[in-house]
């Protein structure tokens, strides 16, 4: 393992033997990344690819330079048919380390066969097309597209799972089971595959529980079968002697039944049906008349109400225009008053920067300049140009002193004002103000008691935002290096918090103090 600050080889000590940098937290981060990588390898060996991908992504969250973890994650993506994601991981890996990196050979192997690369691209486009068909309800077309997808890329796990889901929806459970069996071999323990298999079993269960009728037992001249606790005995010709007259034959019985049916149909056709039809028609006509009258009344009422709504809307719009005019005039007067207060505070006591700054804080100039007069804009520009340098230095000094004294509320308030009035391009204190503002948010959350952390839930997000701005705008400064270290610590805290929430278990403490050691983490070592 090598030092993040000077790239010297580290020993078992807690500091770098060359530059003296504190490497305790750095070692913990690297060890956590390597441990998660080893877990990913174990999952991959038993083809539990989904779990392997999860822990490898966590490994990279701790150490984005862990080349082995990134390369293995790319291989898992490739094995599940996610070729684009695999290439993305390998490209990042090759950019981080261009020599002695297996990712370079992986990329060359995929790109060497243009026909296969084109097939992967076609598979992705057809998969997206199948999703559109599903959203539009054209499930048959989606099935056709998914079959073509698997012809171009048989390893495309998501496509095969979607095809199985469509088979389940269509009731073709045998085909769905075949596709899901392939998915289970490809990624053991995949939760989506297991959920779909459970769905099939749940849908099939009622069919399997249906009871079959008992088959009759054949005896000598009789038929016997059981109905619950009773045994039913009938003659083997299937007829009950008590219900059939002696000597009656089967053809005669059928003839009598047919004549009865014909007579019944004739009676219904000539006498019953015409009366029923006439009654239904009369009822329908009366109901239609009632509905028509109700519809006409409702239409007239709706027209009247619509006219009333239009009139009220017009009146309301006219009143809103008047209110807006009055409000703009009132706001303009209020804005002038606030600017006059600021000018008076400066003329009365130019060294009272707190009062002057508060007066300017009450002015929403970005909004007011849209409607302000030229005289107002000129007065504001002249006055702020005079007091701005003094305000920036005052708020920076006050904020930094509060930061050193761990009074983070005061530090955040004053450093934010230093940023507000500061000039990113010309003020030397601007990067320091931005960095210490971000660090105040971070330390306020990190050093808070567990019971109080809920009050500072947004602090990590704000700190990460400002640290990223420091990295982007002040690349060649020590603040940028320190900001990168803080961003890694924030990622570690967030991961620990997520694990605590999901497992209902307490996470480890990230320690106390305010180390400002910077530098970037190198690839995972020994």
Q: List the chain pLDDT tens, one digit each, 526 residues.
A: 777 667 777 777 777 777 777 778 888 888 899 999 999 999 999 999 989 999 999 999 998 888 999 999 999 999 998 999 999 999 999 998 888 889 999 998 888 888 888 999 999 999 999 999 999 998 999 999 999 999 999 999 999 999 999 999 999 999 999 999 999 999 998 999 999 999 999 887 665 545 444 454 444 455 555 544 455 555 555 444 444 444 445 666 667 777 777 766 665 566 656 666 677 777 777 777 677 666 655 665 675 677 778 778 877 888 777 666 655 555 555 556 777 777 777 778 777 777 777 777 767 656 665 566 777 777 777 887 788 888 888 889 999 999 999 898 999 999 998 888 888 888 888 999 999 999 999 898 888 887 777 788 788 889 989 999 988 988 888 898 898 898 988 888 888 777 776 765 444 444 434 444 333 333 333 2
The DSSP string of 455-497 is: GGTTHHHHHHHHHHHHHHH-TTSHHHHHHHHHHHHHHHHHHHH
DSSP 8-state code for residue 232: E
**Bridge partners, 230 (sequence order):** 227
Assigned token pair, 500? 């605590």
Q: Return the number of other C-beta atoms located less than 10 Å from residue 349's C-beta.
A: 11
Distance in angstroms (rounded) separating the CA atoms of residues 80 and 52? 12
CB 411 within 8 A of CB 403: yes
Give the per-residue pLDDT at 161: 92
Distance in angstroms (rounded) separating the CA atoms of residues 153 and 443? 50
- Homologous superfamily (CATH) of 118-206 is Tetratricopeptide repeat domain (1.25.40.10)
User: Could you tell me the pTM of the whole model?
Assistant: 0.40
Q: Return the number of other C-beta atoms located less than 10 Å from residue 411's C-beta.
A: 25
**Bridge partners, 201 (sequence order):** none
> Helix or strand or coil: residue 225?
strand
Distance in angstroms (rounded) separating the CA atoms of residues 196 and 381? 67
Task: Tell which CATH classification among 3.30.70.2750, 3.30.930.10, 1.25.40.10, 3.40.50.10490 matches the domain 24-112.
Answer: 1.25.40.10
CA torsion 78→83→88→90, rounded to 10°?
A: 40
Assigned token pair, 431? 């990067």
286's CB contacts (< 8 A; 6+ apart) are none
Give the per-residue pLDDT at 12: 73
* Fold match, 24-112 / 118-206: yes
Q: Return the number of other C-beta atoms located less than 10 Å from residue 401's C-beta.
A: 13
Map out the domains of the chain as residue ranges.
24-112, 118-206
């Amino acid at each position: 393992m090598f030092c993040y600050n000077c790239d010297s080889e580290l020993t078992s000590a807690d500091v770098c033997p060359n530059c003296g940098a504190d490497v305790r937290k750095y070692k913990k981060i690297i060890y956590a990344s390597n441990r998660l990588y080893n877990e990913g390898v174990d999952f991959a060996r038993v083809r539990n690819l989904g779990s392997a991908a999860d822990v490898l992504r966590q490994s990279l969250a701790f150490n984005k330079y862990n080349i082995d973890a990134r390369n293995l994650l790319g291989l898992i993506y490739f094995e599940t048919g996610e070729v684009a994601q695999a290439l993305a991981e390998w490209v990042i890996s090759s950019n981080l380390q261009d020599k002695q990196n297996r990712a370079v050979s992986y990329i060359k192997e995929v790109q060497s066969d243009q026909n296969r690369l084109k097939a992967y691209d076609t598979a992705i486009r057809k998969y997206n097309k199948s999703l559109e068909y599903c959203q539009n309800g054209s499930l048959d077309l989606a099935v056709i597209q998914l079959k073509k997808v698997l012809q171009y890329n048989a390893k495309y796990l998501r496509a095969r799972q979607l095809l199985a889901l469509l088979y389940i929806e269509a009731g073709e459970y045998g085909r769905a089971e075949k596709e899901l069996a392939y998915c289970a071999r490809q990624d053991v323990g995949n939760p989506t595959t297991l959920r779909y298999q459970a769905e099939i079993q749940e849908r099939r269960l009622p069919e399997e529980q249906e009871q079959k009728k008992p088959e009759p037992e054949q005896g000598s001249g009789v038929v016997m079968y059981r109905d619950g606790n009773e045994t039913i005995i009938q003659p083997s010709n299937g007829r009950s002697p008590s219900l059939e007259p002696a000597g009656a034959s089967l053809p005669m019985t059928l003839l009598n039944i047919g004549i009865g049916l014909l007579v019944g149909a004739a009676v219904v056709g000539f006498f019953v049906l015409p009366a029923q039809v006439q009654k239904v028609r009369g009822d329908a006509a009366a109901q239609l008349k009632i509905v028509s009258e109700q519809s006409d009344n409702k239409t007239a009422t709706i027209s009247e109400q619509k006219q009333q709504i239009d009139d009220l809307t017009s009146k309301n719009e006219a009143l809103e225009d008047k209110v807006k005019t009055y409000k703009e005039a009132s706001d303009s007067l209020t804005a002038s008053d606030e600017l006059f207060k600021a000018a008076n505070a400066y003329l009365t006591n130019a060294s009272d920067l707190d009062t002057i700054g508060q007066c300017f804080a009450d002015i929403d100039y970005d909004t007011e300049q849209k409607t302000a007069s030229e005289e107002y804009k000129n007065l504001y520009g002249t006055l702020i140009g005079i007091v701005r340098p003094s305000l920036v230095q005052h708020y920076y000094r006050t904020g930094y002193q509060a930061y050193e004294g761990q009074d983070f509320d005061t530090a955040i308030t004053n450093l934010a004002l230093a940023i507000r009035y500061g000039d990113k391009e010309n003020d030397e204190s601007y990067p320091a103000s931005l960095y210490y503002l971000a660090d105040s948010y971070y330390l306020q959350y990190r050093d808070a008691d567990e019971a109080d952390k809920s009050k500072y839930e947004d602090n990590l997000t704000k700190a990460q935002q400002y640290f990223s701005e420091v990295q982007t705008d002040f690349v060649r400064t020590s603040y940028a290096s320190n900001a990168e270290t803080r961003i890694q610590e924030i990622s570690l805290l967030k991961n620990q918090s997520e694990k605590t929430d999901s497992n209902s278990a307490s996470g480890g403490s990230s320690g106390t103090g305010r180390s400002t050691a910077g530098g970037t983490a190198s690839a995972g070592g020994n």
